[in-house]
Structure 1
């Protein structure tokens, strides 16, 4: 990646050191016994446009790639939305359903999202359920219109429809769930690449990181996900709460994470699926999850090994492989079951996240256009979808935005951050002059 990448990694190290120094005086050592506010069910994007979910295609509201929307998912009625797509891009639509915090759900309850062509033919669909924990939480599924030389259906420009529905058996007194929709567009490549599956083989699980944890509380939704780099991170969770983090993962790199729930005293009964850790790619598609049962003693759960980010992963098998198809913001989502409160009290309960990003970062493929939106696909080097560093190695306005974002998302205020920001900004300016 050259001089530009080396400069960026130096900036990131400064940001991490700054966070550690400030964190030691801004809550890093706060004990878990400190009371926390009631968990927010979900933090919707502040830029989301409210659209109706209708029961037929005739009046379906249009979803535009690059934007987020807020809607509602009825108990027993499918809802429709419209996409107007070109004949070259791959489109993705994520649907995040948010049941009320006190909703009764079973393991088989959940949602399904699908993309259909104008004739009702299926382009793709995905179903997500609450699983063994049976705890109400935000639940996300993603469907897409993918251009493929092997399929004629869904290959043309035109009108497509997004269908969102609930699965499972509604409980007595069930009500509609809130819904966040986000649409994404991936441009075609400048040149076609072989469509063979990526090399197989077990990459093996890396050893979890050790060291002192730095406090970093998570966001309430995808839009407010708090940025994390490689490291050991500490937060507190209340039963029923869900927190969101985003981790920049470049082309050629792979992500691994472990969640640990601290002990809170022995209990006589076990909470099944007490804590769930899941990972989502930049279009919010779920790739893998891990859960743990809890009896009051400390427990941990680790994600299975994920492959390095590569374009050709999309030709592989299984969500864990096919979803690692582009560099950008990957999301770690952690949920603590509401049933924990019934056995062990209201908490909060101490959470430790061990996040590792490893592998040699490399240039991605050359795209003929830009992603929409661009920010979630931007690589740590600030060039993301463009497929590597420009040959000149120079910076631009995008670099300035990326630099300020890394320092800002450290989430720790104070004069030290200001000083570090000014210092790094000065170094960056001098590098551009050379």
Structure 2
């Protein structure tokens, strides 16, 4: 029995050119040859934005820098292959990578595929831990706009991910998902990620299927993993869970050259990766891991967004090895508690946080911001992010969000 898909993609008149580009890809033509052939196929005067979008995304693996799709690499190839001036090529390459084309794993409920992502990068509704209850792909897709999160510590949990074919106007024939977990906290390097296996312990990757159970995803199709992963969280069960969608166009491997800038870039510019750091707190006491992988000390700003905590209660942050000790008394329904610290190079540590036992409707969301003053090697790039809404500014310094982790009183 076939079910109606939950969303219908409106294909543009340009679908025929996407299909032509796919033919070159499947014939294993090089991106240079495919670009020249597709340029010849396009009607005059030629649509350079469309050419860049099709070739730049069907050959995503070629243009992926390890952190993001490389606008300059695409522009240089267009210039060399077609003889078009580099300024026009850069403009069209920028258009090609302004939105995500392929499998989108949402960073948050407001994530529509625009790049760089805006809002939180660690509240993905498409990363799902459902305790001891198994869910079918169909059910996961029907619950598309709901978060399913109920880890059972010490037990083997059914774990899932969702993704949607977004922007791309040809079928995705090999949609798959990998999942990882790591300690709860902020900016964990990939060296700390632990691969999950499917629930039967046989594989580290699972096929994605649409609502009808098909592995071939049409444009706009929503999907979920067919074989659940098994995750056995220890302790209180509070971990970061990560999902990376894979296609024939994009291998989506974790970054290898790790720094604060690279981690932030990968999080903001990889539309096929989702993180989830949201947990129910039973104790009001947590350890949050954080890192500075850079070769130089860096300034970090921790902000606890407190919502509906009991008035008169205390929120504290402490990491004695970096002389961090801060706290505040809650005085209203919403309050921010802030602590700043300089963290030495190649640091790996944990911040102990305490807060009251949370009422059902209360939450506390810790965010880590990397503070880049004028003169910092990444300051100008970070200010460009701020202009795109992907970073903040405070007293002339750029603020790059390196992650967040939230606790709630109840998921109900």
How high is the TM-score relative to the length of structure 1?
A: 0.27
Name whichever structure is richer in helix by fraction.
Answer: 2
Q: Higher RCO, 1 or 2 (CA under 8 Å, sep at least 6)?
A: 1
